[in-house]
């Protein structure tokens, strides 16, 4: 969501940022796919004066729709990519220090960084984890993955 918002907001004048992002929040924060689709149609009509901004969402709507395969608590965790961006930033920090004699040296360095990050984040709680876990458990494929990792 963060990237879609960033990519679309560059087509909107700063005076309209707050109203634009507020309307977007109604879409991705909708309780169901049907409600999101209805809000998306309103969004396209209201913001048609900024076709570049609307087109970003039209092109990526199929990805937004997939969020509604999950419950609201899971979607809230998935809205942001901060954890992923943090890992990538950490990888960039350790790899910018120079060249590597071979691919194996780079893989070892990344492995060591992952183990450091794991120690740092291992006991960090996920907000509303019990609700997120219950919603994920409703999907049979996710339930089998959860069971696999719980039994380790």
Tell me: pLDDT of 15 over 80: yes
Q: Which of 91, 9, 131 is nearest to 1 (CA)?
A: 9
Tens digits of residue pLDDT in 21-33: 999 999 988 999 9
- For residues 132 and 19, give the distance between their C-alpha atoms in angstroms, rounded to a whole number: 30
Query: What is the longest distance spanned by two Cα atoms in the chain?
Result: 56
Q: What is the pLDDT of residues 79-110, one digit of tens each?
A: 766 777 888 889 999 888 778 889 999 999 99
3-class secondary structure, 87: helix
pLDDT tens-digit series, residues 25-56? 999 889 999 999 999 999 999 999 999 999 99
End-to-end CA distance of the chain: 32
Distance CA 28, CA 74 (A): 12
- Here the tokens at position 7 are 């990519």
DSSP 101: S
Query: CA-CA distance, 43 to 39, in Å (whole number)?
Result: 6
Continuous H helices in 10-102: 17-28, 33-46, 51-67, 72-78, 82-95
User: Which of the two residues, 6 and 80, has the higher pLDDT score?
Assistant: 6
Is residue 138 over pLDDT 80?
yes
Residue 81 confidence (pLDDT)? 65
């Amino acid at each position: 969501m963060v990237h879609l918002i960033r990519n679309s907001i560059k087509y909107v004048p700063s005076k309209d940022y707050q109203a634009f992002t507020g309307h977007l929040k109604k879409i991705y924060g909708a309780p169901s796919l049907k409600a999101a689709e209805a809000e998306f149609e309103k969004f396209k009509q209201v913001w048609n004066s900024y076709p570049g901004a609307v087109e970003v969402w039209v092109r990526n709507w199929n990805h937004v729709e997939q969020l509604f395969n999950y419950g609201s608590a899971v979607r809230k965790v998935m809205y942001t990519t901060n954890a992923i961006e943090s890992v990538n930033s950490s990888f960039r920090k350790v790899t910018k220090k120079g060249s590597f004699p071979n691919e194996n040296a780079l893989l070892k360095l990344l492995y060591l960084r992952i183990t450091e990050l794991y120690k740092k984040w291992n006991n960090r709680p996920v907000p509303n984890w019990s609700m997120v876990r219950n919603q994920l458990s409703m999907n049979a494929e996710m339930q089998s993955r959860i069971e696999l990792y719980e039994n380790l």
